[in-house]
Structure 1
Amino acid sequence: MSTKVYAGTEVSLNDEGFFLDPGQWSEDMAPDIAHEVGVGDLTDRHWQVISFMRAEFAEKGTGPTVRALGKTSGVSVKELYQLFPKGPAKLAARIAGIPKPRGCI
């Protein structure tokens, strides 16, 4: 476990950089996390995925897989990989402040 400061707030992270408590996350933190993981500036399409990830986590207790994300978020799998290179579900979950989705390596 470690801590990190995003948008002026200290948060607790696991060894992979995912929030231990998703309740500590705020939208102000997302741009800092996005730059840290190499995603860059967040667009409306990024926010669509981030919001969807948070909603799915709130409803189901886990984030969706890439396949489920591509089918239900309104963003195609191809576009997901353009928005979040090197693992859309994992990167989007990290930026959204939720635990790593099941099935992500």
Structure 2
Amino acid sequence: MDKDKLEIYDALVAKCERFERKGKTMPYTSANGYMFSLFNKANEIGIRFSKEVQKKYIKEFNTTAYKSYGAVMQGYILIPESMWKDEKIAVKLLNESYDYVMSLPPK
């Protein structure tokens, strides 16, 4: 795991006051019983959205579905590394994802 990239993920999550990063070997965020962001061993960030929002963002950000350990993570999109430095957008996406999982029935 690339420590510099993990620090970026941690810094983005730290900017969000309503949740915190969890996991030691697999960093993630979760709320309401749902994981909604993940930093995988390939040093990629995935964020979860509704199907409609996924389609919109995949097109808008020219990205793809998110994979972790070779499997497609249903509901997640890959956040391109080029977007990580735009803190405002990345934090907005994390908060939007948090709002989405909070709208789901609790697990």
TM-score of the aligned structures, taking structure 1 as reference length? 0.32
Higher helix share: 1
Higher strand share: 2
